[in-house]
Homo-oligomer: A and B are copies of this chain.
Amino acid sequence: MGCFEVLDTDSRSAARQGLLTTAHGRVETPVFMPVGSSGAVKGVTPQQLRRTGATIVLANTYHLLLRPGVATIERLGGLHRFMSWDGPSLTDSGGYQIFSLSPLTKIDDEGVEFASHIDGTRIRLNAEEATQIQNRLGADIIMCFDECTPYPCDEHRLRKAVERTIRWARRCKRAHHNTSQLLFGIVQGGIDSQLRGCCASEIVRLGFDGYAIGGLSVGEGHKNMIETVEHTAALLPENAPRYLMGVGTPADIIAAVGAGVDMFDCVLPTRNGRNAFAFTEAGPLRLRNSSHINDGGPIDPACDCYCCKNFSRAAIRHYFNTSEMLGPILVSLHNLRFYQRLMAKIRQALAGGRFSDWAKQQLRQYSGYR
């Protein structure tokens, strides 16, 4: 009774189309998950988010643990109700944010002690607690607690992190007691193919509902990332979903789909949207630029989003120029829709048996985003 069904595979790459089944509905893959770190995708309502085509959202355990706290969300009926999203959802384990946001992090085999980036409160978290917290938050997919390494990272530290990630994965699986939630294992190992291989085989041996590739998009660059993804994805079971965490640009996603990845998440659409940076088929557009002052055209004539159907570049530039909230809102909406349209085009290319040619052409087109 797997949660994942492969519907179609590409003959000239490892890409596949699939269907992921969760307690809150089904998700067509390859899929992009917008990030709602604190229980809200920044700048948009769940209703608007749904209209961009999003089918599944991600929330960050680290952020929710700090504020408003797990007890509050549990008391209010769980994450879905709290954030008013009745579709599929995923929480990460908190590992990545602990290592990227928190100062004064102490790691040992038992777990991690870190300081809240909000008020410095010292918090301990281990595999069991990270799992129980996610059980209580109630997302449809939860992640094993892992140790993320920076880039570059010396081999000793990388190896220690892989060993801990494996041991912690075993403990997470044992601690996971909510059968309505899928638990995904995470493969670490930096860009070291031997460590990735070792980690993948141990995580697969433990057995999870899905498998994530973590620890990438931390500065290693597109080429290193994709080589690592190609190597690692090939070691994961074909009948389980594969999730590349925190990735990425359009080119990253297209290349990773070609390597057999099914799921993605990234803050780029909303973070860039708030900074007046729009994704378009013709390349990046910076809406603050004075070249748009009198431009009556939409951000992207090929786009069907609410922003492109209703607002000129000139109006959007004006909203950023006058600090109107509508500027960040509109470009976030556009970028979220851009990502969903990208994923739909990927799925269509797969369904039509022409993914590899399409991807090659697209990778050239999107090289401006790397």
**Interfacial residues, chain A to chain B (CB-CB below 8 A):** 38-40, 42-48, 63, 67-68, 72, 75-77, 81-84, 293-294, 296, 306, 310-312, 314-315, 317-319, 321-322, 324-326, 328-330
Docked Cα-Cα span, A293 to B43, in Å, equals 22
| A76-B314 CB under 8 A given contacts A47-B306, A325-B328 | yes
Residues of B within 8 A of A310 (CB): 46-47, 84
Closest to A295 in B: B76
A319: chain B residues within 8 A (beta carbon): 38-40
CB pair B325 A42 closer than 8 Å:
yes
Q: 4 smallest A-B Cβ distances: which pairs?
A: A84-B310, A40-B326, A68-B318, A43-B325
A45-B306, A45-B330 given; A83·B39 CB < 8 A: no
Smallest Cβ distance from A198 to chain B, in angstroms? Answer: 39
Which among B40, B312, B326 is the interface contact of A76 at CB below 8 angstroms? Answer: B312
**Is A314 in contact with B38, judged by CB distance below 8 angstroms?**
no
Jot down 24 A-B pairs with beta carbons below 8 A, ordered by A.
A38-B318, A39-B315, A39-B319, A39-B324, A40-B319, A40-B325, A40-B326, A42-B326, A43-B325, A43-B326, A45-B306, A46-B310, A47-B310, A67-B318, A67-B321, A68-B314, A68-B321, A72-B293, A72-B318, A75-B296, A76-B294, A76-B296, A325-B328, A325-B329
Q: When chains A and B are docked, how far (Å) is the Cα of A322 from the Cα of B39?
A: 10
Known: A40-B324, A68-B293, A82-B312. 4 other contacts (CB 8 A): A43-B329, A46-B310, A325-B325, A325-B329
Interchain nearest-CB distance for A119 vs B (Å): 12
Residues of B within 8 A of A83 (CB): 315
